[in-house]
Structure 1
Amino acid sequence: MDTYKLVSHLSKYFKITYICFDSGLPKLEVLGVNIQYVSSMGGVFKRAVRFFKTSFYHLKKTHDVVFLDYFHGCSLLNFFSKSDIILDYRTGSVHANSLKRKIDDVMRAVEAKFFSRVTVISDGLRKKLCISPDKSYILPLGADVMSKKPKVFDVPRLFYIGTLNNREMYKTISGVSLFLKSNPSFKSSLTYDIVGTGYKGEEVKLQEMVKELQLENNITIHGRKSHHEIQPLLDYCNIGVSFIPITSYFDHQPPTKTFEYVLAGMVCLATATIENTKYINDNNGVLHKDTPEAFANALQKVVLNFDGYNSNAIQNTLKTHTWKNIASQFKAYLDNE
């Protein structure tokens, strides 16, 4: 999605061909961009063959820039390109198995050596993958302003959007339960909308937990929703939940949702990962540990400070992190190379 956002904003300056897999979801369209969809049908090998075949066809042509989002084996493309390739890392390995995670990151570090130019989402990830600053550029994460409606800070209206995989979202549900036990006056007014999907059964587990804690009137598990469908929630909710387990492999991953919430004028409840601590402060949110108790305490702190929050002031804390600004800076980098 990061690459798609960059393409959307850079299309006014460049003639762009964008190659991606067809995942079966509604196809995206960007004015002036030639989007080449590659079928994702069949096994891993068949999909890889199709993708490489399409990529080889386009790499035979001369381009000013080839921007490559990292995947295993991507260094092979460097041997067939007539143009210089910039390799981009949006993430390190987040595999739950520590051995597989280490092997995965070693592969990422090795493949980076085959490219003369590399972009990385954060300096922490650049150091982790041992990529030289001399040949790399920090291409940070950003977000679009998804809501311009000023938020009303009266009762807690929480919102989460993102994957449910490996995010331990059940801790936030437990945290809401703890908060309501300490603040029963909000039992009839607090809402928490969770948008996103996960592995098979993940949504069901969360729904069962909501029912077990008797929070059906407070918490809604929506599943997958389109941007159009979530717009009313973005306009209505006043607290964004950026809950990411505090681990070594998530620490250097700037979360998109943190930027989305703040730029929408919401207060951000964020776990204290290394990256979140760079962006969340008393003016736009509260940092906390990744436990239900810490989540409940952070929510309590937000509610006690409701009178001190202002949507415009919150948005201004990260106003330089819009995709428009990031794309403009990246264009300047490309022009100077």
Structure 2
Amino acid sequence: MMDWTDTFCRVFHRLLAPHARLYSEMVHANAVIHGDRARLLALDPVEHPVALQLGGSEPALLAQAARIGEAHGFDEINLNCGCPSDRVQAGRFGACLMREPGLVADSVAAMIAAVDGVPVTVKCRLGVDDDHDWDRFLAFVDTVAAAGCRMFVVHARNAWLKGLSPKENREVPPLRYDWAYRLKLERPALQVIVNGGIATLDEALAHLDHADGAMLGRAAYHDPYVLHRLDVAMFGGEVRPRHALLRAMRPYVEAQLARGVALKHVTRHLLGLYLGQPGGRVFRQVLSEGAHRPGADWSLVERAIAATGAPAGSAMEAAA
């Protein structure tokens, strides 16, 4: 998610969900090639497995960006064919590519040829605007699969390129999970991951009866504790309290502060941890108002935790 799932966010989400596959922000191929790679491709070793999501529509540039992404340590290269934002449309990539399966196939083939073994995957919609033709969707998938793509993350709704904002595109077009389920039934050799509108533990688990996985986007960001509960439900272990998970971030946060990173860059991703919980509003307020101030350090996080009524921390808890 552009401007959201940076390396600081992903380190936090990895702590919550040790088994999840994490995804980067969508980065345009040109930015990867010519931009600030130290920032755009920042990657902490604890994040693995993590995918780099690319935007673009020029096979040669996408291939070059994929090669760079692999060299930086990403475990998967994902081509975005689903984002409907205006800046994406202006650049002829994202959801626009649903109308050009041949170009997507050429891009995927070029990316696969450029990397040395990491999978190249595609995130897509069901169609564009009022195109509700199953055969056209299936033809898109088949064309891209023939180029070597074995995994499709299906945001199970159409993208409206005119008349709806990006936010409305995540809410207004109706969800049709049955198309993703049908794709898995008709193309069992492909990995099909369901995305779109998944907000709860039960919803995510229900999709696993019909597909190979479920991807959470904004729900995981606004209510990150759901990631932890989902990881435990799927892979076992004990559900840990929010304060214990957050305090396990302390060594990482203090290491970032020592590097000169401002606390606000990390804490902006923590604000949803106490969503709907006692003290959650004050938790967010303490972090939001204090993290941007010069000298803000871990003590501010402890103040925020204390506002929730959680017990005081211990050295053992911080090192967990």
What's the TM-score bracket when you normalise by the shorter of the two chains? 0.3 to 0.5
> What TM-score, normalized to structure 1?
0.32
Q: Give the TM-score normalised by structure 2.
A: 0.33
Q: Which has the larger radius of gyration?
A: 1
Q: Which has the higher helix share?
A: 2
Higher strand fraction: Structure 1 or Structure 2? 1
Structure scoring higher RCO (CA < 8 A, sep ≥ 6) equals: 1
